[in-house]
Amino acid sequence: MVTGALEAHGMHLPLSTDTILPTYLAEKVAMRTKALVLPTIPFGDSWSFNNFEGTISIAPNALMDFYTSVMKGVFKHGFRYLVVLNGHGGNIPVLTLAAKAATDNGQRAVIIVNWWKELAESARKLAEETPMGHAAEDETSEVMHVRPDLVNMAKAEVHRVVTRFTIISGTSREELLPSAMYGDPRKATPEKGRLIMEQAEEELISLVNQLEKGELPITKR
Ligand SMILES: [Zn+2]
């Protein structure tokens, strides 16, 4: 299951950035394993970006029902494991609730992979010169690798507004995330994106191989 978003990503990246990247990874992994890939869910909870042009955010309760129905649908057909390759941070709370609802009974597991923060850690450390963000060096590099035709670096801006607390305000979205940006995309290159995507692909393949053996990806310490 691949979950994305239709959400402003600065002025230089496509609205579907969070959909394009995990879909690309899922298709790569499917070619090299027996994993089946569901059609990507291209909308997510993008509340924080809802005032920016092009963003379409789905209400969390609607998303919760949708995700839960998809998960239950998969399990109804006898699958034991469902990997959610999630491309968007705003989806995490709802995905977690949906996974709990879908796995309450029976021998089954939903494995949520928030790929941008849980995969390719060493490639990111090696390749990136600036911290992770939103439409920042990391995401920009990845889209440059996967869909260079959709990147317009002439429009790239640099913004980083920090806060110690969680501020939720419908009228302060532009103030908190100027130009739908957080970070510095200027050092992005397709080569950095390639390194990150290749490592993410290998790690996902290891995960699928482990699940095919009936093992959950856990380590006992
Ligand atoms: Zn993104």
Reported as a single tens digit per residue, the pLDDT across 154-198 is 999 999 999 999 999 999 999 999 999 999 999 999 999 999 999
- Per-residue pLDDT at 57 exceeds 90: yes
25 CA to centre of ligand 1 in angstroms: 15
In a domain, 220, yes or no: no
CA distance 116 to 183: 15
User: What pLDDT was estimated at residue 139?
Assistant: 98
In a domain, 138, yes or no: yes
216 CA to centre of ligand 1 in angstroms: 27
Is the pTM for the entire model greater than 0.85?
yes
In a domain, 173, yes or no: yes
87 CA to centre of ligand 1 in angstroms: 7
42 CA to centre of ligand 1 in angstroms: 12
Give the domain extent around 199. 2-212
Report how many domains make up the chain: 1
What mean pLDDT is reported for the chain?
97
User: What pLDDT was estimated at residue 105?
Assistant: 82
In a domain, 77, yes or no: yes
In a domain, 82, yes or no: yes
214 CA to centre of ligand 1 in angstroms: 32
In a domain, 11, yes or no: yes
Tokens of 26: 């899922």
CA distance 192 to 121: 13
18 CA to centre of ligand 1 in angstroms: 5
213 CA to centre of ligand 1 in angstroms: 32
Long-range contacts at 199-205 (CB < 8 A, ≥ 24 apart): 199/119, 199/120, 199/122, 199/123, 200/25, 200/115, 200/119, 200/120, 200/123, 201/25, 201/28, 201/29, 203/119, 203/120, 204/25, 204/29, 204/83, 204/85, 204/113, 204/115, 204/119, 205/29, 205/32, 205/33
CATH code of the domain in which 65 resides:
3.40.50.10310
In a domain, 186, yes or no: yes
User: What pLDDT was estimated at residue 106?
Assistant: 78
In a domain, 41, yes or no: yes
Q: Could you give the dihedral angle defined by the CA atoms of residues 103, 106, 108 and 110, in that order, rounded to the nearest 10 degrees?
A: 0
Among the residue ranges 80-89, 102-111, 157-166, the one predicted with the least confidence is 102-111
